[in-house]
Amino acid sequence: MKTLKIGLLGLGNVGTGTYEILAMNAAKISALTGCEIVISKVLVSNINKKRSLNLPADLLTENAADILSDPEIDIVVELIGGIHPAFDYMLTALQNKKHVVTANKAVIATLGDELMSAAAASNVLLKYEASVAGGIPILNALSTALAGNEFDEIVGIINGTTNYILTQMTDFGLNYDDVLKDAQAKGFAEADPSSDVEGEDVAYKLSILIQTAFGLKIPPLSIPREGITKVSKDDIAYASQFGYKIKLLATAKKNGSTLECHVQPALIPVSHPLASVSNEFNALFIKGNAVDDLMFYGKGAGSMPTGSAIVGDIIDIARKLDCLPCCLTPQISAPTKLIFAGEGKSMYYINFLVADVPGVLGKVSTIFGDHGISIESVMQRSKGKSEGEDVPVIYILHESSRQQLDPALAEISSYPFIKEVRSILRVEPLN
């Protein structure tokens, strides 16, 4: 039986999961691929670190060249993370005619084209299923089983940390700061959580999803983006009274010849399947013009679920090795005439803090009307407030653009009875 040699860059969470899956399911993987898959070298930053795996003494190295320049290594699996040196190692591996598998959303979303070109020039494969939604095989599904569709919409919960925080705030009425601390203590959030809670991680993943599904390259940091740091437990409670849950959504929606996309916390109806996706779970809701509505649900992170996607990519490469060279050309995005159109129109939830004086609701409603924005519902919460104390007023508005909404809010805020615009959140009808 042919032996396929793997060089692993990184033996942290995902590297360890990948190592374990290849050992645990070795017999099945050999039967599927006709190859014995062997991890022949593993790059780490500290060779003396204590590890959970029992490894052969000579397996680890701190020298990347031991893998990248070893002619015997067929596939390089990059699980270091970050842009550099991960990108440089992958580029060298591809130039040295090694197939590359990675879970690195930051590199694929920002420098993926350069790696794709290097892969094409060397006639090798670059695969990155694990870079979006961990164990959920979404990229493969979009580019193979669902490739016969034109996609109208992708809406996803694709960050487990923020979904865990919002779920805990919703289920237990807790504050953002308290839940974040708890999540950090339990290892669900990083010590520096900014990439997750500010929506950057989701923007990377959405950029990769858009390129795969719609063939449009949008730099991740151009995607309109807002994180969850301003979502309060009051917003969550008010949203629930209107029949919604608040989730951090990655949205890409076709509108005629344009593609609207954004990463934002949004109210979704409790009846929508995405509303019941809790804690660290991820889900993606897709509308295709042939398949209609589809939902993918599963673990979007973690050692073994992410390792599962990595091993799937390794198996795919192993199966194609003896095929015609055309099988080894990288996946090419579908041609598209779509134009990136930013956020697009939406319904909005607005949480004002106002002085408890007569006529406020009428005045605010009139100003919205003057700007062509109609109101779906309004709720004033004076319960528990003493006389003269400021009170929250919550509006759910019908569809408008930010070009309409922002001047309306500026005019409303100029009145002294408006103490604060506390939150502006999108409302997704998601019918």
Give residues in contact with ligand NAP (CB under 6 A): 10-15, 43-46, 49, 79-81, 85, 103-105, 130, 134, 301-302, 306
Task: Please identify, using beta-carbon distances, which residue of 208 and 405 lies nearer to ligand NAP.
Answer: 208
For strands 244-255 and 151-157, give the pairing: antiparallel
* Per annotation, catalytic residue among 98, 105, 127, 205: 205
Q: Where do we find the tokens 């009875």?
A: 417
Are residues 330 and 139 in contact, defined by beta-carbon separation less than 8 angstroms?
no
The encoded tokens of residue 361 equal 């609701």
Task: Please identify, using beta-carbon distances, which residue of 217 and 299 lies nearer to ligand NAP.
Answer: 299
Task: Please identify, using beta-carbon distances, which residue of 269 and 302 lies nearer to ligand NAP.
Answer: 302
Give SS3 for 144: helix
Task: Please identify, using beta-carbon distances, which residue of 195 and 258 lies nearer to ligand NAP.
Answer: 195
Burial class (CB in 10 A: 0-12, 13-18, 19+), 346: buried
Strand partners, 182: none
Nearest distance from C-beta of residue 154 to ligand NAP, angstroms: 18
402-413 vs 360-370: helix axis angle to the nearest 10? 150
Three-point CA angle 57, 313, 21, nearest 5°: 45
Q: Name the residue whose CB lies closest to ligand NAP.
A: 12
Are residues 386 and 350 in contact, defined by beta-carbon separation less than 8 angstroms?
no
The encoded tokens of residue 18 equal 């990948």
Q: Where do we find the tokens 């005439």?
A: 337
Are residues 10 and 307 in contact, defined by beta-carbon separation less than 8 angstroms?
no
Give SS3 for 150: coil
Nearest distance from C-beta of residue 51 to ligand NAP, angstroms: 7
Based on the residue annotation, tell me whether 205 is a catalytic residue of this protein.
Answer: yes
Are residues 316 and 26 in contact, defined by beta-carbon separation less than 8 angstroms?
no
Nearest distance from C-beta of residue 40 to ligand NAP, angstroms: 16
Task: Please identify, using beta-carbon distances, which residue of 141 and 158 lies nearer to ligand NAP.
Answer: 158
Task: Please identify, using beta-carbon distances, which residue of 211 and 306 lies nearer to ligand NAP.
Answer: 306
Sequential DSSP letters for 195-243: HHHTTHHHHHHHHHHHHHHH-----GGGS-B--STT--HHHHHHHHHTT
Q: Establish how many alpha carbons lie within 13 A of residue 238's alpha carbon, considering only the half-sphere containing its beta carbon.
A: 27
Nearest distance from C-beta of residue 340 to ligand NAP, angstroms: 25
Measured distance CA(11)–CA(226) in Å, rounded: 32
Nearest distance from C-beta of residue 314 to ligand NAP, angstroms: 15
Three-point CA angle 340, 132, 302, nearest 5°: 155
Task: Please identify, using beta-carbon distances, which residue of 302 and 342 lies nearer to ligand NAP.
Answer: 302
Nearest distance from C-beta of residue 280 to ligand NAP, angstroms: 9
Radius of gyration over every alpha carbon of the chain, rounded to an integer in angstroms:
24
80 to 16, 63, 86, 392: CA distances (angstroms): 12, 14, 6, 47
DSSP 8-class letter at 221: G
The encoded tokens of residue 388 equal 């003269």
Nearest distance from C-beta of residue 428 to ligand NAP, angstroms: 25
Are residues 343 and 260 in contact, defined by beta-carbon separation less than 8 angstroms?
yes
Nearest distance from C-beta of residue 129 to ligand NAP, angstroms: 10
> Annotated catalytic sites, by residue?
205
